[in-house]
Every structure is written in C-alpha cells, then in structure tokens.
Structure 1
Amino acid sequence: MALTREEREQFLAEPHIAAFAVDGGPGRAPLTVPIWYQYAPGGEIWIMTGLDSRKYQRIKAAGRFSLMVDRTEPTIRYVSVEGPVTDTIPATIDKLREISARYLPAGKVDAYVEFASKSHGEQVIIHMRPEKWVSSDLGSL
C-alpha cells in the first residue's frame, strides 16, 4: 500500500542508510552506493561526499540523483526519492558532526568527526529537492 505524504516524509526523516544512485556515465551502469543523508519533512535532502569523489563528479554531470531507504521490521516499507540538485556548498565540521550524530552513538561522534575531518579530504554538501516519490508498506508478509 502506498504511503501518505506525511508517512513517506516521516519515514525518510528517520536515520536509515540510503542506497544512493546517479547516472554512471557513458557505457556504465548507474553508480549505486550506501550513503548517510539528512532530511526533515517538507525540506530538502542533503548528503556529504568528497570533492574529488566519483559520486560528486557524476552528480555534477547529471544534475540529479536518487535515494532509496527501506526496512524489513516491523513491516516491509520503502521510500525512493529523486530530484534535482539545488545547491552545492563546502562541508563544515558542524555539518559533519550533525550527520555523524544522526547515525552514530553519541559516544562515538567526536572520534569519528576527528578521524573523518583528517582522512576524508575536502568534502562538499549537496542539496536535492525531492521531486519524484515512490513508496510502499507491504505489511508483515
């Protein structure tokens, strides 16, 4: 059964790890990888990635990307969303801390932020406006 707008936005706002996909370029399948993301109902999605990463290069070329999140408990539910890139800005330590706190236990955030800021290279934040939604809750089959 399809989710209502409120249900799908609330589900997307939960801290699921998304399957990120973007056009892989000529002769390539779509680039699909797991990624952390941030979203609040009614707003835009943002992700953080390396300035020199293939992800970022493909996003720049395509101008859009998609995310899909799912779960299997207590019911089988998924939300897939795609849309255009609306902004790209340099990442900050505050944003790295924000997204890390969404996914990691509180006691692990500081160490991860220190590690990531030293070893992941220059990062960017890419905003996407959700435009196309597909969602369903299949119950507890």
Structure 2
Amino acid sequence: MNLAMSSDCRERFLADLHVGVLGVTDPRGTSAPLLVPVWYGYEPGGVVTVLTDRTSTKADLIKRARRFSLCAQSEVPPYRYVSVEGPVVAVEDGLDRAEWEAIAHRYLDRDTAVAYLDANRHQLEEYLTFRMRPQRWRTADFTAFARQFS
C-alpha cells in the first residue's frame, strides 16, 4: 500500500495548523541533531518560515548548516505526516510585524495572541526570520491503511 501523499495534499497538509518539529545538524561534538518544536508559516508553493531568537542554539545551528528539516504531523488517527528538508534561502534580521502577528494568531486564540504580542514586542528586534525552500519531501497518510481495521 502506497502511503505517500500527492504533491497537492502534502502542501495543503503542511500549510494547515500544526506545531512543527525542526531538525538541524549539530556539529558541536557527538550530539544527535537538534530537534525542537516550533511555530512555522507555510503557503503552498512557498517557503517554510521560522522565527527564533538570534541568540538561540537553534539560530546558531541553522546559520552554520544553511539548511534544516521540519516535520508536521497529525496527532490523532488516522495519522499523517509531512517532513520537508531544504536550504535556507533567506536569513532576515528582525521580524516583519505583519508576519509575526499572523503566526501568533495562527497558533493562539485572539485574546491570547493579543496578550502574547503585547508581552513580546522585543522579538521584533531580537529575533531572526529563517526561510527554507522545501527540496525533499517525505510523507505518509495512514487513512486508507486504518480503514482496513475499522
């Protein structure tokens, strides 16, 4: 059974609301790759956008590696996931206010987003924006597989 998603399905899935898990190589010794949950932005056909503190380990490792991967998954059956990997095509100093606000509203209800944005204005200057062009996709949709057991 082929579990792979079509190009259209995988792009829509990645654009849906998921907390992503970002992975980046960690060359600092014998460590495994750094894996951290992140909020992200994506529109079909576009780039994956991640905002992070410029002094974070994540930012340092992404700048060194010039690429990262991101996995998004559904956490309820039937399980599905999309994993993308690719080069960083832009590192922007600071945050675009409209994009920052859109990501906060994507992940938080209205009132919580407003409070979050008000309390974290420092992020506009202290954060970096990373943009990654998806180059390699890995996907699985277990919907048809799960139907066999219902």
TM-score (norm 1): 0.93
Runs of 4+ in structure 1 deviating by more than 4 angstroms, as ranges, are: none
Higher CA-based Rg: 2
- Write the distance in 1 (CA, Å) between the matches of 2:10 and 2:114: 31
Instruction: Note the residue ranges of structure 2 that are not aligned, 5 or more in a row.
Output: none
Select which of 6, 10, 20 maps to 1:4.
6
Alpha-carbon contact 2:53-2:123 (below 8 Å) kept:
no
Amino acid at match of 1:93: R
User: Judging changes above 3 Å, is the alpha-carbon distance between structure 1 residues 92 and 120 closer, same or farther for their aligned structure 2 residues?
Assistant: closer
What RMSD, in angstroms, separates the aligned Cα atoms of the two structures? 1.6
Aligned length: 141
- Write the distance in 2 (CA, Å) between the matches of 1:96 and 1:39: 13
Alpha-carbon contact 1:50-1:121 (below 8 Å) kept:
no
TM-score (norm 2): 0.88
Matches within 5 A, 1:73-84: 73-84=76-87
The answer to whether structure 1 residue 59 and structure 2 residue 95 are counterparts is no
Amino acid at match of 1:14: D
Instruction: Note the residue ranges of structure 1 that are not aligned, 5 or more in a row.
Output: none
Alpha-carbon contact 1:93-1:117 (below 8 Å) kept:
no
Q: Identity over the aligned pairs, expressed in percent? A: 37
